[in-house]
Structure 1
Amino acid sequence: MNIQGIIPAILTPLTEKEHFHPEVATQLVNRLIDSGVHGIFALGTNGEFHLFSEEEKLQIAETVVKAVGRRVPVFIGAGENSTEATIRLSNKLADLGVDVLSIITPYFVAPTQEELYEHFRHISENVNIPILLYNIPSRTGVSLAPETVARLSALPNVLGIKDSSGNIENIKAYLDVTKDEDFVVLAGTDSLILDTLKLGGAGAVAATANVLPETVVGLYESFQKGKLDESEHFQKQLQPLRATFGLGTLPAPLKKAAELYGIPVGPPRSPVKELSGEALEAVAQMVEDYRKQGKAAKE
């Protein structure tokens, strides 16, 4: 499978009672695909994967697979804390027609690099669809070392890694140690999309694409055409949205921005609360500024 381009890490729409909202999820998927994205990534960090039961995850995945309708590849977060639970969920997702499993490192338990290797190796041997590794040490407390990624890249169905470390040197190290393998490295930090592409990365799993899909796709496509000034302009256009991410607990600011752009994704799931007060005003002002520039996603 050819993994490349801009793959939005989609928000998980919820009702006011915090139940999954499949109709809005379908609306969001269609809006993103119409904007030219190259894949759909559900149940990631901004998709609040850690707050849903297995039953809910399967409902979300089934809805996304159906909504996408094979127009682009579907990536679904399958990582659980235990190896056994990850394998069980992964195979259920495969049965639903998911194209690629995104598997985050275990969190809270802080395994060693050898334990991480064995975790992913065992998963690889027990699932039949491609795997994308997911490294986000700020949330999990553990980071996949380049040497471990090099070992994992040799496994037949481990196709790449999404790196959300926020460290471009880490991305460069992953690219260096896997240069002899058929293995892709994707930026998971939206401020590093262009830098990752310059180093030879394949693209990005981008949360900002929920709100600014044309901008993020434009960044990738202009880079592919050698229009570096244009791609740098698009990269800078993402910063005001990213600057609001610290105004509340993830993903509350992004959900509010998406809602103000016309996608009623609803609240985050408790214990995370919706934005209010000055934080809400700042997000509303950011959205208004983008609208004045004509940067809103298409209605």
Structure 2
Amino acid sequence: MKPEGIITAMVTPLDKTNQINLMATKKLVNHLIDKKVNGLFILGTNGEFQVLSELEKLRFAEMVINETNGRVPVYVGTGGNSTDQVIALSKEMTNLGADALSIITPYFVAPSEDELTKHYLMIAEEKTAPILLYNIPKNTGVDISHKTVAVLSRHQNIIGIKDSSGKIENIKGYLDGSKNEDFSVLSGSDSLILEALKIGATGAIAATSNVLTEIDVAIYQYWLEGEVEKAQMMQDSIEEFRRILKLGTIPSVLKAAITYQGIDVGKPRLPVQSLNAETLSEIAQTMDDYMENFK
């Protein structure tokens, strides 16, 4: 499989008792697929993987995989600090039917470049679904180097990288380092979707597509059709939503916006707090403006 197009970095719906919400999960999965996303990316940063138990991760992944039923690929986050634990969880997710695994770098303690390379290669040698590297240095304190990607891209079970560094130079470096391999580079920064496509990225793993699904999909579709000006208009239009995302801790604003659109995905888990009335009002106004301008 080739990771490409707009892949939604999906939230994890929770109910009023703070447990995974099966019905909301089904609604969100079907909504996104109906809006023509190219894949679902679960248990990532916006999926609150860091506050879910292993059992919850397995239950949620099983729900999403079963509901998706092969209509689009499902990328499942299995990353962590322990190589052995990542391998164990990756095998379980593979057995559940994950199409690919997203593996964030270890965090808190920064491994050396050699340690990081060996971490990924040991996981890739196991009998698991294909692996997508996940680089988000502002959260992990670890930045996957271009040199490391050049080495890892040669492994047949490592198929790409999601780069959330926010730096187009990083994406370019990954593309240069893997140019002779069957390896996909995807933007994890929603502001860079079109810019990344222009230099050779195959798509984006976009949190905004939980809400601005049609807009994000249009960026990619217009790009494929050679309608670069229209693609740029769509790209520019997401900036207002990206502005309000900064009004709360991830993924509080994103969850509130999805709920406002009609799928109650609940609140984030603590320590992330609920949003105040003023912020919720600004989110509602912004979403109303989008609905008015992009009917």
TM-score of Structure 1 vs Structure 2, range by shorter chain: over 0.9
Matched to 2:243, the amino acid is A
Structure 2: how far apart are the matches of 1:127 and 1:286? Answer: 46
Pairs within 5 Å for 1:106-185: 106-185=106-185
Structure 1: how far apart are the matches of 2:291 and 2:217? Answer: 18
Q: Corresponding residue for 1:80?
A: 80
Matched to 1:278, the amino acid is E
State the Cα distance separating 1:216 from its structure 2 match: 0.5
| Residue pair 2:190, 2:208 contacting (<8 A) in 1 also | yes
Q: Corresponding residue for 2:198?
A: 198
State the Cα distance separating 1:17 from its structure 2 match: 1.7
The runs of at least 4 consecutive aligned structure 1 residues that moved more than 4 Å come to: none
Matched to 2:253, the amino acid is P
| Residue pair 1:187, 1:201 contacting (<8 A) in 2 also | yes
State the Cα distance separating 1:278 from its structure 2 match: 2.6
State the Cα distance separating 1:281 from its structure 2 match: 2.1
- 1:211 counterpart = 2:211: yes
- Unaligned 5+ segments in structure 1 are none
| Residue pair 1:257, 1:287 contacting (<8 A) in 2 also | yes
Q: Helix, strand or coil: the match of 2:102?
A: strand
- Unaligned 5+ segments in structure 2 are none
| Residue pair 1:90, 1:127 contacting (<8 A) in 2 also | no
| Residue pair 2:162, 2:185 contacting (<8 A) in 1 also | yes
Structure 2: how far apart are the matches of 1:210 and 1:17? Answer: 23
Q: Helix, strand or coil: the match of 1:248?
A: coil
**CA deviation profile, 1:181-227 (whole Å, cap 9, x unmatched):** 11000000000000000001000000000001111111001000100
Q: Name the Cα RMSD after superposition.
A: 0.8
**CA deviation profile, 1:236-284 (whole Å, cap 9, x unmatched):** 1111111111101100010001111111000001111121133222212
Structure 2: how far apart are the matches of 1:137 and 1:3? Answer: 21
| Residue pair 1:87, 1:127 contacting (<8 A) in 2 also | no
Q: Corresponding residue for 2:257?
A: 257
Q: Helix, strand or coil: the match of 1:94?
A: helix
| Residue pair 1:257, 1:283 contacting (<8 A) in 2 also | yes
| Residue pair 1:94, 1:129 contacting (<8 A) in 2 also | yes
Q: Corresponding residue for 2:69?
A: 69
Structure 1: how far apart are the matches of 2:274 and 2:288? Answer: 19
Q: Corresponding residue for 1:271?
A: 271
Structure 1: how far apart are the matches of 2:120 and 2:86? Answer: 10
State the Cα distance separating 1:128 from its structure 2 match: 2.6
**CA deviation profile, 1:124-173 (whole Å, cap 9, x unmatched):** 01133100000000100010000001000011100000000001100110
Q: Helix, strand or coil: the match of 2:7?
A: strand
Pairs within 5 Å for 1:98-109: 98-109=98-109
Q: Helix, strand or coil: the match of 2:41?
A: strand
Matched to 1:226, the amino acid is G
Q: Corresponding residue for 2:189?
A: 189
Matched to 2:39, the amino acid is G
Q: Corresponding residue for 1:14?
A: 14
Structure 1: how far apart are the matches of 2:273 and 2:90? Answer: 30
Q: Helix, strand or coil: the match of 2:253?
A: helix
Structure 2: how far apart are the matches of 1:277 and 1:39? Answer: 33
| Residue pair 2:2, 2:184 contacting (<8 A) in 1 also | no
Q: Corresponding residue for 1:37?
A: 37
- Structure 2 length normalisation: TM-score? 0.99
Structure 2: how far apart are the matches of 1:168 and 1:278? Answer: 34
Structure 2: how far apart are the matches of 1:263 and 1:185? Answer: 31
Matched to 1:269, the amino acid is R
State the Cα distance separating 1:64 from its structure 2 match: 0.4
Matched to 1:223, the amino acid is W
Matched to 1:281, the amino acid is S
Q: Corresponding residue for 1:96?
A: 96
| Residue pair 2:8, 2:37 contacting (<8 A) in 1 also | yes
Matched to 1:44, the amino acid is G
| Residue pair 1:9, 1:40 contacting (<8 A) in 2 also | yes
Q: Helix, strand or coil: the match of 1:244?
A: helix
